[in-house]
Structures are given as structure tokens and as C-alpha cells.
Structure 1
Amino acid sequence: MNTQEGSTAVPEKQSEELGGKQSEEVSDATGPALSVIVHGRDVQGRLGAGLDALAAQASPGVEVVVAAVGASARAAAEDRPGVTVVPLPEGTSDAAARAAGAERAGGRWLHFVHSKDTVPTGAPRTVADRVADLPDGVDVLLVDHVRSTWRHQGMPSPDGTFLAKQGRKDLPLTDCPDLLRVTPLLGNRVLRADFWRAHAGQLAVADETFAAYAALLLAGRIAALDQVALNVNELRVESLPPATPADRFGVIERYESLLALAADLGLPAAPRTALYDVMVGDCLRVVAREKLPDPVRREFFHRASKAAVAWRPEGYQRPGGLEGVRRRILEEDAYTKYRAFQTANQQRRKLRSAVVSRKHKVGVKVRDLRYRRELERPVDPHLAVFTAYWDRGVACNPAAIAAKLAELAPHIHPVWVVSAANAPLLPPGTEHVVPGTRRYWEVMARAKYLVNNVNFPNAVVKRPDAIHLQTHHGTPLKRMGLDQLDYPAAAKGLNFHSLLARVDKWTYSVSANSHSTQMWERAYPSRYESLDYGYPRNDVFYSATAADIRAIRERLGIAPGRRAILYAPTHRDYEAAWTPRLDLATLADRLGEDTVLLVRGHYFYGGTASPLAGLRRSGRIIDVSSYDPVEDLSLAADALITDYSSIMFDYANLDRPIVIYADDWETYATTRGVYFDLMTEAPGPVARTQEELTEVLTSEAWRDSASAKARKAFRERFCEYDDGRAAERVVRRVFLGESEESLPPVTPVDERTPAPTPEEATTR
């Protein structure tokens, strides 16, 4: 631990002077490319968890400096190898903390991160690699960010379009003025250290928003990186001190100061016009949306009007439409007129909404009338409707059942329900209907069999002589159905009365093991019959040949002899978007040239600036997020890394190594709810950090005797009915009406022969 003892707070009024002082080691070309400077007090106890993740990413190219304000922040930051702590007294301002952190930092580039915010896994290395490639003259690198609140995690920012448009170019602000519309955060601007020192007077200030805009105005050239490097944790407004009238008026003063700075710098019309647009838009948002007493709102409007007139660029053209009208009224300083205009707009929106609502209701009535007429016609005993994953396409258990149906009961005609967006992706010759169309309601009303791995819409009627087959799409580790009641993060948006009404339509429920049967019957209590037959989609794990596996690996681009590891994390209900949990570039480097990572998830490392770009080109990392069917990926992989995804239960059929990466098990179990403790009943080794995962995969732990023993117990419990004949049992029982006793018996686990491993497939 490198702790700068005896540091004192930097008074805010001195921050301009001290922010420019820097250790001489910054100029050392062998020093770190990037210093991540975490600054501030320990807000709501968030600092420790953020530093846990960040400290693990420190490297020779990335250093972590914590300008810790107060005893609690210092305690949260201490005892982390590789982290430099700059202790600051309670009451030190954010601006002074930033300046103190920058003074201690040794990186050639500085990334300021507030103590309440976090840095996603892999982001520091991505940023460090990007800045290392930037030429002299580039002073600012703009990066993307996500937002998190108490309700949602990882919500995308609106900045992606601006950053993507910039691409790999570095430009002066004159040539890219729209970058002034990027969210004004100091944390999404990575600054060259020399640039920070040269302009500390404008950057090391209390108003972080001012500093964020000023950085762009002062920069010689600006580069962009359209990848997420910051997670902004937005605190509840109710937990913060209430804003005063002076705070509101400060918004106008900030923009006037910025426009004055732009004029002093001699910036041309394009950036000044963009900044002016942002100012007027923000002022109008304050008037329209902030909860202000009317006298304060009126005074704000008056001051904003004066600023709009005083700083309006020569030749400026207002936008068209209602926005242009709003801006004209603002320039006229006609507050009463603006309020009347606002009220009229609200009434217009309500009227338009009412018209749309009436049209919708009329459409629903027409649909219901047609549907009821079709329901009066006889059921077609030879018509079966299939759908999967909310009308995504031919997939999962329904697809496996449909394939076996064509073989054993060709007299039954299948029709797939597929969304309009996914219809072009269907296999050639697949008959389908699009939800909501007239033909859709005809087949839904007439079909004898309705097969789904989720639920059909509430409006679908269960006819007495129709059969609804619920196949599900995984073995439950996480809580499901009524068991979600005690877990708000999992239950948000669920209407449990409607859920049970949909469950009451089930005739049969397919299960892969006794655990699932018990959980389904508890989570979805109704009169359906459980079919303990196994999952039809898993039949392929016993029927695939060595030739099949070689063909799949060839399609994926996996060279013979390479070890392929499938990484398939699951969704978190407490996150609005997928959050990367592994630094895949580092993992690939550690695993070596002979290992290929198949990554199934929303890809964080999408741009050419990513350190993964070269690894993707060499075939060492393959993005299989959009590849279907997932069973092919399992067959191609020598081993699986997952966290809490139900893929582990399916993959266990292959009797190949499984490694659990559970960096947030306690959070997941607490927020989502689980049916058993995966940490003690895992199908293989459990890693809680990336370093532990790397150790497992670079040693024999991933496939040693302890791993095999754990996998054997897991298979016996969760692959109970999966023996390669599940689809046959379902078709014979449900569609052909054969008795339970006449169905093929389930082969015991220890008597089954799964598909050959990739290594075995190369020798057959």
C-alpha cells in the first residue's frame, strides 16, 4: 500500500493552483499510461465494493489512486494492493480531492471517477490501450457510460451516436461540435495529464459540469471511444440536500461563463452555436420539469431569456416545430405566454392520446369479434401451433418436439408464431403467422395443440378440447412464479393473478428432473400434468456424432486441436443492461494461444479500439451471442464457464467440465432468490474472482478428480430424465395419445453415452 500520510485538504479556492502541480514521474515514458483517480467521501457505503473491482484491474499500465475524503473513505480504500491512497480530511471538496489525486497520480492520462461511481470490468485496460495509441495534440478522450439507480442498473447513455460518429478520428472541437451534446460528466472525459496541469484554473473547479464542458472547449484535439468506461450511480434526489433558487440560477451563470470562455478562446461559430443550443435546451427543461415555486420559475425564465438574447450567435436559426416556438417565446421573455403554450400542449397530448386509445379499443373489439367467431368453429385435430421465447423463432424444446412430430406424426400440421422482425430468419419452408394478424387469431382459435416454452398472451382462450403444452426453457436455480413474490427485483412488472390465469391453461408441463417438477408445482400451482420425460432440446447431446461436432466447430472457426471454452453468463434482474464480469482480453492472454473463448452475451468490447479486436481476428475469441442453436455451442466446447445460467444443467448431460464464476453470488441470491446453494452444490470448481478463475483454467483443477466427482453428483440430480429420447416420449404421449406405460423408459444416468468430446471427435 502506498499511502501519502499527512496530506491535508486542498482548500477549494487554492485548487486552481495546486491542481496543476504533478509528480515528475508522469513524464517518465515507462510509467502507467492511465491513472484512475477515485475521489470523494464514502457515499452511502459504496466505495469499498467499487474499489474491490477496480483494484483487481490495476496493472503496470493502469494505476489506481484514491483521494479519500474522511475516515470512512480512507478505511474503505486501505489494504488493497496496488492502490495508492491519498488521505484527505473530512469536508474536503470534490474539486480539491480531484486536484490532490491528480497531484499524486503518475499516469500520462487521468480518469476521474467519483467515489459513488464504478468502473466496469475491462474498461481501464480498454481505455489505457486507446490512449496509448493517441498522437500528441489530443487532450481529451470521450468515453461512453451507463447509469444506475436504486431501481435499475446499467441503463445506456444517449451518447453512443455521437461517439460512434466520431469513430477513430481525433479532431478539433470546430470539426466535431456535436460532442458538446455528450452528457457533461468529468468521468466520461479522460484527460491528458499535461493538459490538466496547463488548464487547472478552468478544470479544477467546484462545478464539475462546468469543468466537463470546459475540457472540450480548451482541448486542442478530441478523440472518442464508443465503449462504456463508467457506471454513474445516480442517488435518489430525496437523499440529497434540496436545491436552492441560487442553484437553479447557477445553471444560467454556468452557461454564460462557458460561452464567455468560448469567445475568449476565439472559437468559431459551430461550437459556440452547439453550446448555445445546449444552454437554451437545458434552461427550458428546468422551466418545464423542475418543481419550482412559481416566483422562482418566473425569475429563472426572465434570467434565461436575457441570456438567450445576449448570447445568441449571429445568424442563428431556431429549430422548427414546437421547440422553435418555445425558444421564440423564451427570447420574448413572455412567461405568461409560455405557461399558456405549455398548458395547450399538455391538452393536445391528452387529446391525441385519447384518440389513439379509442382507435386501439375499436381494434381490440374487432379482433375479439373475429376471434370469438373462430372459437365457435370446431377444433382442427391436425393443427399444432408452436412458438418459443416470445415468438423469437424455431428454437428450444418446441423446435425439438416439432422435429420429432414430423417424424412420428406427419399428419399433424405445425404452424409457428414468429414476430415480424424474426420471420426473415426462419428456416426455408417454415409455415408461420405473425402475432396480431387475422391469420394468427384463426390458428390460435382452431389449433388442437399449442406448444410454448413461455406463456401465450392473456387473450388466448383455452378451449376445452385443446391441449396446451408448456415445455419451459431451463432448470430453475433462480426463483420462479409465485416464489418471486418476496423478491422485488425479480417480481417487478409481474401481475401474479394474470400469471396464474395463464398457468391454468396448461395441460402438460415438461420437466427434466425431480427438482424442476417440484419447483414448477410449487411456483405454478394448478391442475396440469407433469411430464417427467426430460428436455427435448437436450436429446442432441446423446445423438450427435463425431462428424456433427467437427462440422459445428468448423462453422464456428475453431481450429482442430484448440481447446474451446464456452463463456455463457446469465441476466441479472437488478441490471437494466448486460454488465461484463470478466476482463476477457486478460483471460485470453493468460490461457494462451491454444484456447478459444466462445462468448455468449451482449458484447462489451464491440469496437475496433478494443484490445479484443486482434484476438477476435485471430479466432481466439469468438462472439457467439447471436448464434443459434445454443446446443451447437455446447457440443463444440471442451468446457463451460457460467455463473447462474440454466445452461449448466443442460451442458452437464455431456459430462464435460463446468466451472462456475460467481463474483456476485450473494447479491444475486439476495435479489433474485435461489432454490439451492450453488456454492456448495456446484457441478465443478467455483471461482469468486478472475484470478481464481484463471488459476482453475491454467491448472488441472477444471478437469481433475474433484471436478469429476462434483459433476457426477450434479448430473445424477439434474440430468435425471435427459437420456436422448425426451422428444419421442412427449410426441407419443401428447400427440399420439399413447399410455404412460408404453413410453420408452428413461435410461439411468450411468448407463448413458453422451456425444463424443471435441478431442474424441478428432480421432473418429
Structure 2
Amino acid sequence: VWATVYRRAFLREHGLAFPEGRYADLGCSGFVALAAGESAVLRTVCVRRPERRQGGGTAAGTRAETPAVAAALLDQVELVLDRAAARDLPEDRARALFAQLFAEVLDTAAAAPRGRAFFRRAGRLHRRYRPAGHRTRTVRARLLRRGAYTAFRALPALGRLTARARAYATRSALRRRRALTYAWYLRRPLDENLAVFAAYWGRGYACNPAAIHRKARELAPHIRSVFLVKEKELPHMPDDVESVVIGSRRYWEVMARAKYTFNNVNFEHSVVKRPGTVHVQTHHGTPLKRMGVDQIEYRAVAAATGSFGKLMRRVDRWDCSLSSNAHSTEVWSGAYPSAFEHLEYGYPRNDRYYTATPGEVAAIRERLGVPEDRVALLYAPTYRDYPRDVSAQFDLARFCAELGEEFVVLLRAHYFLDGDAGLRQAVADGRLIDVTSLRDTEDVCLASDALITDYSSIMFDYANLDRPIVTYADDWDVYRDTRGVYFDLLAEPPGHVARTQRELIEVLTSGRWADDRSAALRSAFRARFCEFDDGQAAERVVRRVLLGQPEEELPAPIPLRERLPAPAAAVSRPRTPAR
């Protein structure tokens, strides 16, 4: 409404004001159109209004609309059309006003499910007030006029499927059959008790989706939960987890009919977001590096990301976005600007850091082969978006040798042990244990006594354990300028920072890695980034999403000072440095 300028005398002369109720802007605009004798368009932009994108999700906006709120739109339309009927408008103006009002009605009806009552009333209004000579040009309008509710609801999905079918026609017959299979299942009703889970593009049973899946089977046994995996991952799936192979016929069926979907990345582009479904984006880490559309200004990363338009269309399928701290909530809001709801519940995968017992920790260490008298250092560097010869810049074999007999290194990285004689010897001597292939990162973290990492998001999860963290930032300047970051890690680290391998060895052998300064830095880091993680995240998600419980009935957050993370198994007291 405020994008239009009115003469004050015009408003007073015709007694124009906003009508009562919701959608009053539509009613006011209609009254103005009836009263106006002249109007003009100024082709210069005078006002810019930043407005959050409205995605395809239903949780944050349209799902919350009650039938009464949706009906208010039709109240305003009827109010304007009643006033128009009382006036002898020229046919062209009557048709234009009618088309304008019902364009809004059709867009609203198509955006999200409003129910048969809304649709039927809209159809009655269309038939009653349709001006003479008005031609119903669109399929949507014809279906509304005829009261064909089921066909109207199916039309958007069928239209998208038709476009996809044309694209598939140029590809293999197998893909065409998959499209037809998916189209068939999309016509079937939603399964209100079906939930689909996936993690890391089908790489196995892991991360936040797996933690939510486990809790769902406990608290919501009426929900049938299936996990999506690649075919080669099937042998590694737990025996008691129902698995569906990505790309199979069952995959297209569950994707078409599931009421709930959980993923820590995005589903493939061809997946249709059906009205009434709930998609939860769980994410898989707290962001230090730039994410989503925030990557656009970093050319190397943006090129690898691909189409940001396609990315945002996938983001528009999100209904809920999970956060483990306020920092993440802020980042997700800007990096993925769409109309999803933030669930500030913590990361379900981090629940284990508060529920694991000392006996479990000891059992994991024994399984990994960690000696009881050694301090286990987990070394977990992150991926780089630029060329980097890791083995040349960090001599891991020499690092293990110079640490001494007190430590054992748990390696979680992309080193090639078979091709390095020094690393093979470190393994043989018991100074190095390769845990890269282990699927459960939480187990590896629980088994360790301290973490060494660079810029990996593992630091945010590990901080929940309240165990020492050492940052090895030998290429921070390059990483920051190439990848982009949200804050200066070196100014706000979770522990001591080393810029060279010599500094790193000195921090560890001197005992500074576990001193009071390390504890103070870690305490501040935990307060900022472990805000919502208290061991109850999975329960909150299940109760809120699958059981529909209101926020006030969810488990109350445990204050940080009262949380008891799983204790480290080894006696991690720093030794007195040699004089």
C-alpha cells in the first residue's frame, strides 16, 4: 500500500481508510482502485525495502495460518467486490479489478494448503462476481471456477514434473522411468507416520540425522523411520535400521510420501517439496568458514559451489534449521536467506558427549588400541579449497617422534600412511593410530584427551567435552583470505595457538596445552559456542517436530555450569618440563 502515493484531498473526499481485519492492504487498494479517476506510474525507484525471501517451507509462515486467517483474504475480496457491484463501473475497469483481486487469491491458494473450505468459497466468489466478458485464461483460474480442488492442488507438482520429464527425455531410459515412478508416487497421499533421514549424501548412518533417528524410535515409535544410503554403504548400516538405497524405486516412494525429512546436507535438486511436509535441515557443524550465499565474493569457493540459484531453491524447501548456538542462528539467517524456522535446540550428535559413561570411554579407547598410560591427542585438520602439500608443511612422523612416550596421536585426516615409511614406523611403534575410516566422530573425540586442529568445525563440538584444544594455524592468513571466515579465530581461540610445527611441539611437551590459560580460553569459547548443547537436543527435536509439542513442554536447557560432560579416561596432567 505505501508504494503508492495518494493526494490527501482524494482520501478525505472519498472517505478512504483501511478496513478492519487482516489483509487490510488488499481491501484498501481495492477501494482506491474503485475511487480513482486517474493514476500514473513513476519509473524512478524512490524506496527500497529489503525483504526476507519467502521459501517453499511451511513451518515458518503459511503452516501457522489458521483457517480464520486464510479466510480473511476472501473477506477483503468480497468487501471490495460488493462495493464494486454497487457502482456502474466500465467493463474494462471491472474486469481489471476482478483479475487483480483473484490473482492474489490464486497465488495464496497455490502457495500452501488452505483447505477445501477456502477453495470452495473462493470458487463461489469467482462465479458470483465474474464480470461480463471476463475470460478465464489460466488453468488455475478455470479449476478454481469449477471447484476442482484435487486437480488444483496437484497442478504445481504436475507442472514441475512435466518440465523435469522433458529434461529426462534427453537422458537415459532409466532416468525417465524414475521420473515417471516419482510422478506416480507424488499423486498418492502423504504418509503422516513416515520420516526419512539422510546424512552426507548417503554416506552412512551418522551425524545429527542418526542421533534424531535413534531418539525418534524411542519417543515416537509410531513413526516409521527409514535411513537413505548409497548402495555401497548398506553393509555398514546397523542391522536394526531400515535402509533405503538412494535412486531405487523405494527411494522415490519414500521421498514422495514422507511427512518428515531430515538431512544434514541438501536433497538432490529433483526432489519436490510437497505441501504439508516438514523438512528439517540439521546442518553438520558450527560455521567458521563462509557458507551459502556468503561465499559469493570468494571466487574459488563460489566456483566450486556452482549455481547459487539452485542452492536457494533447495534452501526454500527447508521448514526448520537446527542451531547449536546463537552464532549459527545468525549465520544461517544470512547465508541461507529464506523463510525457515530456527530450532535453537543444540546438535543431537553432541548429546553423546553428556550421556557417555566412563566405562564407555574406556571401552572405546581399548577398541582403538589406546594405551592406558598415554595421553591421546586427536589430530583432525580440515579440508582446504586451495592447493596445499600437507605432508610437506607438517611432518607428522617427526611430530609423533618428538612428542615422546607420554603421547599417542589419533589421526583423522587424509594422509596416505602406506606411502610414508616414517608414518608406518610411527604406527608400528604405537605413537600413531589412524582413525580416519571410523564413522563415528563422537567415539574418536570421547577416546581422546585433547584436540589438535586448524579451522575444522570439530573444535566447536569438541568444546562440549571441556577438554584442551590446541589450534595449529600455520596458513591462517591464506585460509582467511581464500575461504572467508566469520570471526578471527586467532583472536578468540579455544586454547593455545601455534603457527609453526616447532611451536606446536613446544606447547604440548611443555605442558602449556593443559594450563590455566588454556582452560580460560576454552571456558569463553564454550560459553559462546556450546550454548544450546546440553545432552537433550535430540529429544527436543523429536518432541517438537514429530510429536508436535509446544516449546514450553520441551526439556528446559541445563545451564552450562551445571552440565557434566563425559570425563577423559587418561590422567591428563601436564608433566613438569625438563630443566
What pairs up with 1:426-505 in 2 under 5 angstroms? 426-493=237-304, 494-505=306-317
Aligned to 1:595: 407
Aligned to 1:636: 447
Cα offset, 1:411, TM superposition: 1.1
Q: Quote the Cα distance in structure 2 between the aligned partners of 1:496 and 1:592.
A: 49
Whether the 8 Å contact between 2:361 and 2:446 is mirrored in structure 1 is yes
Q: Quote the Cα distance in structure 1 between the aligned partners of 2:513 and 2:485.
A: 25
Does structure 1 residue 560 correspond to structure 2 residue 372?
A: yes
1:507 aligned to which of 310, 314, 319? 319
Q: Quote the Cα distance in structure 1 between the aligned partners of 2:510 and 2:564.
A: 27
Cα offset, 1:359, TM superposition: 6.4
Whether the 8 Å contact between 2:413 and 2:436 is mirrored in structure 1 is yes
Secondary structure of 2:377's match?
strand
Cα offset, 1:573, TM superposition: 1.1
Aligned to 1:571: 383
Q: 1:675 to 1:746 in 2, by over 3 A?
A: same
1:743 aligned to which of 554, 561, 576? 554
Q: TM-score, normalised by structure 2?
A: 0.68
Aligned to 2:346: 534
Cα offset, 1:362, TM superposition: 4.0
Q: Report the residue type matching 1:746 in the other structure.
A: P
Q: Quote the Cα distance in structure 1 between the aligned partners of 2:309 and 2:368.
A: 44
Q: Report the residue type matching 1:514 in the other structure.
A: A
Q: Quote the Cα distance in structure 1 between the aligned partners of 2:168 and 2:343.
A: 43
Could you tell me which runs of 5 or more consecutive residues in structure 1 were left unpaired when the two chains were aligned: 1-355
Cα offset, 1:614, TM superposition: 2.2
Aligned to 2:459: 648
CA displacement, residues 136-194 of structure 1 (integer Å, 9 cap, x when unaligned): xxxxxxxxxxxxxxxxxxxxxxxxxxxxxxxxxxxxxxxxxxxxxxxxxxxxxxxxxxx
Whether the 8 Å contact between 1:534 and 1:722 is mirrored in structure 2 is yes
Aligned to 2:510: 699
Cα offset, 1:585, TM superposition: 1.5
Q: Percent identity, aligned pairs only? A: 58
Cα offset, 1:361, TM superposition: 4.9
Q: Quote the Cα distance in structure 2 between the aligned partners of 1:400 and 1:707.
A: 30
Q: Quote the Cα distance in structure 2 between the aligned partners of 1:459 and 1:357.
A: 11
What pairs up with 1:276-675 in 2 under 5 angstroms? 360-493=171-304, 494-575=306-387, 581-607=393-419, 610-675=421-486
Whether the 8 Å contact between 2:449 and 2:572 is mirrored in structure 1 is no
Secondary structure of 1:404's match?
helix
Q: Report the residue type matching 1:538 in the other structure.
A: N
What pairs up with 1:672-687 in 2 under 5 angstroms? 672-687=483-498
Aligned to 1:210: none
Cα offset, 1:620, TM superposition: 1.3
Q: Quote the Cα distance in structure 1 between the aligned partners of 2:168 and 2:320.
A: 37
Whether the 8 Å contact between 2:407 and 2:431 is mirrored in structure 1 is yes
Q: 1:612 to 1:626 in 2, by over 3 A?
A: same
Q: Quote the Cα distance in structure 2 between the aligned partners of 1:483 and 1:733.
A: 30
Q: Quote the Cα distance in structure 1 between the aligned partners of 2:240 and 2:561.
A: 40
Secondary structure of 1:730's match?
helix
Secondary structure of 2:259's match?
strand
Q: Report the residue type matching 1:367 in the other structure.
A: R
Whether the 8 Å contact between 1:580 and 1:604 is mirrored in structure 2 is no
Secondary structure of 1:384's match?
strand
Cα offset, 1:456, TM superposition: 0.4
Whether the 8 Å contact between 1:550 and 1:761 is mirrored in structure 2 is no
Aligned to 1:14: none
Number of matched pairs: 406
What pairs up with 1:85-234 in 2 under 5 angstroms? none
CA displacement, residues 200-234 of structure 1 (integer Å, 9 cap, x when unaligned): xxxxxxxxxxxxxxxxxxxxxxxxxxxxxxxxxxx
Whether the 8 Å contact between 2:192 and 2:259 is mirrored in structure 1 is yes
Cα offset, 1:750, TM superposition: 1.3
Secondary structure of 2:452's match?
strand
Whether the 8 Å contact between 1:603 and 1:623 is mirrored in structure 2 is no
Whether the 8 Å contact between 1:546 and 1:760 is mirrored in structure 2 is no
Cα offset, 1:586, TM superposition: 1.2
Q: Report the residue type matching 1:691 in the other structure.
A: R
Q: Quote the Cα distance in structure 2 between the aligned partners of 1:467 and 1:359.
A: 32
Could you tell me which runs of 5 or more consecutive residues in structure 2 were left unpaired when the two chains were aligned: 1-166, 574-579
CA displacement, residues 324-377 of structure 1 (integer Å, 9 cap, x when unaligned): xxxxxxxxxxxxxxxxxxxxxxxxxxxxxxxx9966254433322221111111
Secondary structure of 1:758's match?
coil
Q: Quote the Cα distance in structure 1 between the aligned partners of 2:352 and 2:453.
A: 21
Q: Report the residue type matching 1:733 in the other structure.
A: R
Secondary structure of 1:433's match?
strand
Q: 1:540 to 1:413 in 2, by over 3 A?
A: same
Whether the 8 Å contact between 1:578 and 1:602 is mirrored in structure 2 is no
Q: Report the residue type matching 1:378 in the other structure.
A: P
Whether the 8 Å contact between 1:571 and 1:578 is mirrored in structure 2 is no
